[in-house]
Each structure stands twice: as C-alpha cells, then as structure tokens.
Amino acid sequence: MKNFSEALATKPNLKLTINLVLTPIGENIPCEVLVNSETVFDDNISSIQTITGDIDLLDPLNIQIKIQREHPQAIQVMLVVDGYEVLPKYQHHANPPTNYIDTNKEWSLSIPEFYSWYHKITGQGDIF
Amino acid sequence: MLNNNFCSSPWFHVRISPEGNYRPCRWGDQDAGSTHNISNTTLTEYLQSDLMDSLRTEMLQGHSPKLCENCQYEQTTGKVSGRQRQLLKSAIIETEFDKTFCASPHWKNFEYSYNNQGKTDLVPCDFQIDLGNTCNGACIMCPPRYSSRVTEDHKKLHQIEPILFKDAPRLKNWTNDEQLVNKFVNELSELPSVKYIHFLGGETLYMKSFYDICNQMIDSGLAKETVMGTTTNCTVYDERIEHVIQNFKTVHLGLSIEAVTPVNDYVRWPSKIGSVLDYVGRFLELRKHHNLFISLRITPNIFSIYHLDQMLEFMINNQIIAESCNILYEPSCLRMELLPNNLKQEILNKLNALVNRYNLKRSKNQIINRRIPEKINEVISEVVFEYIDFLENYKQPDNLEEDRQNLVKFLNAYESIHNNKILDYLPEYEEFLRSIGYQA
C-alpha cells in the first residue's frame, strides 16, 4: 500500500538549494564556513566565493562563519535559499545581527525549518 | 491535481450561516448537504463530522468540490483567492506547493486524515459567524438572505419581475435565540484557542447580537487572545464598537463601500456618501490609537467599476487596503463583464492614469496575506493591477445579450421601488443603457 507521500505523488526527497555568497573586503582573509556542522569552505578569501549545495527539505540550516581578520578587513554574506533572499534582508536574525562580519567572533545563522521560519519572518500571519 | 485544488481550510475552519446552519467554508455558501445546525451540533462535532471527513478526503484526493467553485473562478482572474488565504494559515504557498505542503506544520494532520478516511482530531480555531440578515441597507447586488431590507424589497420586486427576483422567505436569525448565543460563546470559550473569528451580517454594527457576543467574549477573557473581524456598510456608528475594538487582541474592520461618489448611494441604497465618509473618518481616527486594521471590502459591479479609480485613490491617500471576497458574478446582470468596450476602455484609461500619477509598480510576488500594515502600499498597487488585468482579460459571458436585457429589467424594477435613476448618478452610461433598451 502506498504511503501518504507516495499516494499524493509529491516529489520524493525534496531538497532546499542553498546559495551562499561571500564577498571579502580586503585580501587573504582566513575564513571557515560550516553548514550543519560540516566544513564546506576553509581557505583564504581574496575574491567573491559562491558556495552552493542542498539539504533535505525539513532539515535545519545552521551556518557558522569564522574569520581571522585584521582591521579593516571584513566579509559580507549573502544567502539565498530556494530562490528566496535571506541575507542581507533578514540579517537581524543572525548572531550577531548583521551580514557584515568584521570581528573574529563566530558569526552564525540558525534556521530550524526553512519554510515555516520564512513564513514567520516575512510576516505572513499566524499558522493555525 | 493536489497543487491546484487542495485547501487546508477543512482542518481548522467552520462557518455558521445566518440561519444557524453549519457550512464548511467562508468563501462558499453551499451547505454541502449538511443538516448540522448550531442548535444540534457543537463547533468541534461539525469539524469532526462525517461530512467534513468526506470533504477532507476529497481534498487529499486532489478533487475540486463544487463548494470550491468561487475560489476556482477567482484564481482564473489572477486575484488572490480564499483558498490561497486559507492555505497560508497552514504555511502553504501555491507557487511552492510541493515543498510548503510537505513542510507544513499541518502535514501530520493531513497524513492522519489520509490514513483514517478523512477524520481529524483537530478542533476549529478559525470561524466565520453569520449573525443573521438584519440590515438597514438594501444594496442592489445583495441576496435577500444577507439583508432583511432586501428581503422586503424582493417581495415587491417579485411582483414586478417574478423570474428575475425570487420571493425569498423572511429569515429567522439564529442569534435571536439568546440561549443559542450563550451556548455558542460557551463552546468558543472551551476551545484551546480562537485564532480568528469574523462576524458577518446583515449590518453587524446594527445588530444587538454582535455586541452581546463580543461583550461575552471580552468578559470571559477570550477576546484578549482573539483576532476579530467584521464588516460594516459605514451607515452606522455605534460607540459600543469602541469598547469592542479596545478589548480584542486585534480587530480587522472591513468597510463595505463601492464608491466614494454618490454612485455608492445608488448601489448601497439608501446610504448617503457624505455620512459614510464621515464614519470612515471616525474609524480611521480609532485606527491611530488601537490595534485596528481597516480594509475596504469592495465588490465592483458594472456601475461602481466606473469610479474605481477614485476609490483606489482614496485608499492610497488614506492608507487603506482593499479586499474583495469575490469577483461579483451574481446577480449576473450586474457583472463587470457586461460593460461595452468604450466604457471599459475609459475605465482602463483612468486606472492607468492613476498608475502613472502615483508611480505604482507591480509586485514581484503576489501578496497573499494582505492584512500586514507594513505592506499597505504594495497591496494597494497590487489591487490596482489586479483590476487592470481583470478588465483587460476577462471573457464576456456567453449569454451577454440576455444578461444585458435582464439588466434593463433589473434597473426598471429596482428604480420603481427605490425611486431613483442610474443616469442621475452615472450620466456617462446613457448611450450604453439606451442602446440596450433602458428608457427611464
């Protein structure tokens, strides 16, 4: 007997596409990027880096970025998930609340489950 | 197809009709074969009834029940439909259906219903409560069951045009029964939450039951947690509304106006636009001090559409969004689709001039939840373009000539009892109306 997902013919293994763009302010900035605790980038940045990938639809999305900068170096972060802009528009949900990383303190963004989270932060109203 | 037809409303929404009968949906007025009434069934019993089980099963099979035809029509016009708004309450968006359906916090509830013949253990939290049809107005597009005054008008109109106007029986409002009202409020109080409740008349601000129910909800503490909506024709201002607005979590007040010109007086007879606008001003004043969200509930018809540009400009100047429940298609002789091309083009020219005057832009994405104060300007722009698109793209009905002949009969009959003439309000329509046989 088909289960609910199969019977509804919804696509199996739905994924979220992640598009993370790092723009360095300055050259040779050591930078480590972790997505869901997995290192996806660990190098010095001197030019724009685009990191793409996908995660399961219902997985949380946790992004951590650690840099070792010297004044006035910085890294600017842009994030698009499934074509929806997350950063810089909703940078106030990051910790610290910015998309412009200019300290050596770890920067992070935690999204528990993307679509419900996006519904809430874009003010789409109560979920009944 | 699930993505075209599925609606999550049957998992959380219940409507009660003016007679006290249960209905599955605020956007479809059909009873779906129900004999359930507020007197014999509780709110939760109805949501969990066999009838609603069947509806949920139909939804999960991707069918589109007849009940859903209003929303299906809305979607063909490009307007935001009730279905889209209900889906949003499950965090489902149509443009990303598969993903948002699977990610919906209600997914488990859909799955449970799928595996249990449509059953649910959910209780309702979203309501439309039709309090009855007591009304001080006799709007020409209103069916008798929503206005006591239209009911009386139809008794006379039936004598003049028996085919066009049915002799509707006088309706007995369920809210006339005080015990039923108390039962209803007690049931509401026992629910875990009432997220949204919309009261509809008649003219709600004219009805004792509206204040009675609201005050009971305030006294029980329920109001503080509840978003309440209602709709008024702006011909009544009762200071008791201020107490209601102050004591609910948020109030959504829909203003049923068709034009900011005297055309409103003709369509929403016997209103007087001067006092209507005075009352609108008082509501706008209240908005400054309370959690009051105001929208215009326009349902343009073949006449009021002519002054839609002024209505929209009023919205822009007063920062009020417009929501229309449906594109008007009953009475079919008042449909905008009966316009002759020259008038349609004039209306389009005026709307396009408005777009240029205010530099309005189309939104990149359709805004489904329009009751977000920060998005008022975007929503107004979207409304303007929706009507432009509708006028440019609508299909004329197959029985155009018959509907236009009925329009003449409709006007002659109504004007004989309202003692007015449409051409006094819309002289621009003279050539068109004369061409189809109107002679008044």
Q: What is the DSSP string of B176-232?
A: G-HHHHHHHHHHHHHSS---EEEEE-S-GGG-HHHHHHHHHHHHTT-GGG-EEEEEE
- Residue B247: pLDDT band by 50, 70, 90 thresholds? very high
Closest partner residue to A10 (CB to CB) among B12, B98, B371 is B98
Tens digits of pLDDT across chain A (128 residues): 567 776 665 556 899 999 999 999 999 999 999 999 999 999 999 999 999 999 999 999 999 999 999 899 999 999 999 999 999 999 999 999 999 999 999 999 999 999 999 999 998 988 99
Distance from CA of B344 to the nearest CA of A (A): 35
- Residue B417: pLDDT band by 50, 70, 90 thresholds? very high
Q: pLDDT (tens digit, 9 = 90+) per residue, B28-73?
A: 877 666 789 999 999 999 999 999 999 999 999 999 888 898 888 8
Pick the residue from chain B with its C-alpha nearest to A59. B103
Probe site for chain B from A2, A5, A6, A8 (most B CB atoms < 10 A): A8
Any chain A CB within 8 A of the CB of B95?
no
Indicate the length of chain A as a whole number: 128
Identify any residues that bridge with B37 across adjacent strands, giving them in sequence order.
Answer: B21
Closest partner residue to B98 (CB to CB) among A7, A11, A127 is A11
Closest partner residue to A128 (CB to CB) among B90, B111, B114 is B90
Peptide bond into A60 cis (omega under 30): no
Distance from CA of B105 to the nearest CA of A (A): 7
For tokens 């900011």, the residue is: B260
- Name every chain A residue with its beta carbon within 8 A of the beta carbon of B125: 128
Closest partner residue to B100 (CB to CB) among A4, A115, A126 is A115
Distance from CA of A86 to the nearest CA of B (A): 15
What is the structure's pLDDT at A12? 60
What is the structure's pLDDT at B92? 96
- Name every chain A residue with its beta carbon within 8 A of the beta carbon of B104: 115-116
Pick the residue from chain A with its C-alpha nearest to B227. A126
Any chain A CB within 8 A of the CB of B74?
no
Any chain A CB within 8 A of the CB of B367?
no
ipTM score for this prediction: 0.88
Do B298 and B352 contact (CB within 8 A), yes or no?
Answer: no
- Name every chain B residue with its beta carbon within 8 A of the beta carbon of A128: 12, 89-90, 125-126, 195-196
Probe site for chain A from B12, B89, B366 (most A CB atoms < 10 A): B89
Any chain A CB within 8 A of the CB of B89?
yes
| Average pLDDT of the segment spanning B86-97 | 94
- DSSP category for residue B398: T
| Residue B85 clears pLDDT 80, i.e. is over it | yes
| Average pLDDT of the segment spanning B304-329 | 89
